[in-house]
Chains A and B, each alone.
Chain A
Amino acid sequence: MNFELTDEQTTIKKAAREFCEKEFTPELALEFDEKEEFPMELYRKAAKLGFTSMRFPEEYGGQGYGVLEDCLVTEEMCRVDPGLGVAVTLGTLMFPDGLLKHGTEEQRRRYIPPLCTGEKICAAAFSEPEHGSDITRMDTIAKKGGNKWVINGSKEFITNAPFADFFCVLCQTDLKVTPSHRGESLFAIDRGTPGLDVTKLNGKMGIKPCVTGSLSLSDVKIPETNLIGELNKGFYYALELFDGTRIAVAAEAVGMAQGALERALNYAKERKQFGSPIIQFQGVSFKLAEMAMKIETARLITYKAAWLYDQGKMDPMITAMAKAYASRVAMDVTDEAIQIHGGYGYLADYHVERFHRCAKITEIYEGTTEIQKLTIIRSLLKRGFS
């Protein structure tokens, strides 16, 4: 057993930290949090340095690393700023992973390299106004018309939708089959295809630089060759993709918690009340000790989930535990960080309130905590204890 990162992994972590600490300035973080805009320039810079294509093979322009290395980068980015961090790491969300597993060589060659370089951005459109956690039925329908697929429907809460160049869209392709999830398929759709319309969604609680939008599809015609993998396997592909992204969300949560802890610790060392730095009061110092404890355990299970994935031993239960636990830790720790800051913590300029607002999303997206718990209990019932 070995709990140490390799030299290479440590170097990656440091490189990511150096980049973020210089580029993700507090002012930029505040500015983009307020504007609710995607930091395109920052994204391209990060992509050029390889930070956004960690998991993709070198032959497609990626870095050829695993989920663990990707998590190290994600953690550092969210540690420095949760909003900018999440935005930058999600530019290449899911689409390449789906293509790598099930796409044709032509699809991979076409879509993955420009995503690796940062020229293009993608989005994964699964959720719908009526289907969030439950994707066992899609109201977006793809019908075969000649040698084309014709798609109608709408998608909601889609990360990057307002400016993504490529979308992978989950559609119902068989309306009669029961259970209905056996009739879902994944399609690649390019921006600019007639009938595809996107709108920006404003007013999110947190991760505001990570721009979200809605998709409306009205008689969108795409060639047959845009089907990803096999027909009617989309639901299974989507679940598979979540196995990877949930670990990434756990890493986001660990990073956010770490960033909040560091800010709270620094503040507690400097803030003086009743004549001494508040860290000398156990009411404060014990909080900090507990925050650190929680973060370390969350990190351990996150790394374990990533490691299992990279070993080809992906364990849905461990992944679910990592996501549910780390996201809760992020909520608790960022909350306590505000408490330690007192009144100042409630102000945007002191940053911890933003960490708290951003942390909430980690309990929601890529499967809510409740969905994670379902996975955990199903595994427990199935496999018993060794």
Chain B
Amino acid sequence: MKEVFVLAEHRQGELRDVTFEMLAKGMELSQKTDTDLTVVLLGHNVEKFAKKLTDHAKRVLVIDDARLENFNAETYQKVLTHLISERKPTLTLVGHTAFGVDLAPSLATELDLPLATNCIDISFEGEKLVVVRQVYGGKVNVKASLRKSESYIVTLRPATFEAKGTKPQGGEVIKIAPPFSDDITYKRFIEYFQPPAGDVDITAADIIVAVGRGIKDVDNMSIVEKLAEAFGGVLACSRPIVDKGWLPNDRQVGTSGKTVKPKLYIAIGISGQFQHISGMKNSDLIIAINKDPKAPIFRSADYGVVEDLFEVVPTLSDRLLEGKR
């Protein structure tokens, strides 16, 4: 029986959401192509994960070894090269995460298998594998096909596929001995590092005023600070603001920053790249202010204001302050 592989992703004792998102998509694909869904789980002392994953797939391949405790592209690649050559899955799904991007391209190169990265959709059209990707910061979608192969590797964008609950699959756990004998030679994991937290915890806020590239200059930050204050909320931002050093990185919302779910999220001058959206899309109410009517942020917002932020924001602050008096 042919298989679809899903590479389980876990970190610091927890299975990551992307694993279940991939399993949901993987289940759909395996049903359509009449293949088995198999989870590949690499780690150390991961019985608990394996058990949980049996609910989601036909089988769980477990490779348990101390050298696999933390993610390491070198050791992961050794194991996966072996497994894929051996079992020839139709498709291997990997998360387009900090782990996935470090692993999938070199794995595909070593195996000489076609790879598509950062996909937001995937389907088989006959034997052809077709994916949808986003380019130009989410402003354009691309439908693309992969070179014909008996096995493909695809990385899926996190927070894109819904992790649906399924009836327990009662999958079988199969333990496999680590297929490498030599030690890790090139790459060594040292430790995790959590940059020191600041005084504001944006994940605890009910109202978030978030600012992006559109603010243009550090000197303009005062107008959004004032708005956050008028709302009694906190100021957060998208990545460019942190890259420029205008706000500390614990104020960043998005994939590489924090995930927030406030009651009100106001996005100001934020175009809405997926990395940002994935960190705020579950907010109760989203209002976006952006000059560009085609900015992707309007696809995720409840209300949109297509105006110059430098006019809207100060007026809105004044209006709120008036109301308070």
Contact = CB atoms under 8 A, between A and B. Distances in A.
Interface of A: 25-28, 270
A233 to B, nearest CB: 49
Contact of A25 (B219, B291, B308): B219
**Contact-size category for B:** under 10
Contacts of A26: 217, 219
Contacts of B308: 270
Interface of B: 217-220, 291, 307-308
B122 to A, nearest CB: 40
A28 B291 CA distance: 24
Contacts of B218: 25
Do most interface residues of chain A lie in helix, strand or loop, or is the interface mixed? helix
A26 B215 CA distance: 12
Contacts of A25: 217-219
Contacts of B219: 25-28
Contacts of A270: 291, 307-308
A267 B242 CA distance: 29
A25 B218 CA distance: 9
Nearest to B222: A27
Nearest to A270: B308
Contacts of B291: 270
Contacts of A28: 219
Given A25-B217, A25-B218, 10 more contacts: A25-B219, A26-B217, A26-B219, A27-B217, A27-B219, A27-B220, A28-B219, A270-B291, A270-B307, A270-B308
B167 to A, nearest CB: 55
Contacts of A27: 217, 219-220
Contacts of B217: 25-27
A270 B217 CA distance: 20
5 contacts: A25-B217, A25-B218, A27-B220, A270-B307, A270-B308
Nearest to B220: A27
Nearest to A27: B219
B313 to A, nearest CB: 14
A28 B218 CA distance: 11
A28 B220 CA distance: 11
Nearest to B244: A22
A353 to B, nearest CB: 17
A28 B307 CA distance: 25
A270 B311 CA distance: 11
A270 B310 CA distance: 12
A26 B220 CA distance: 9
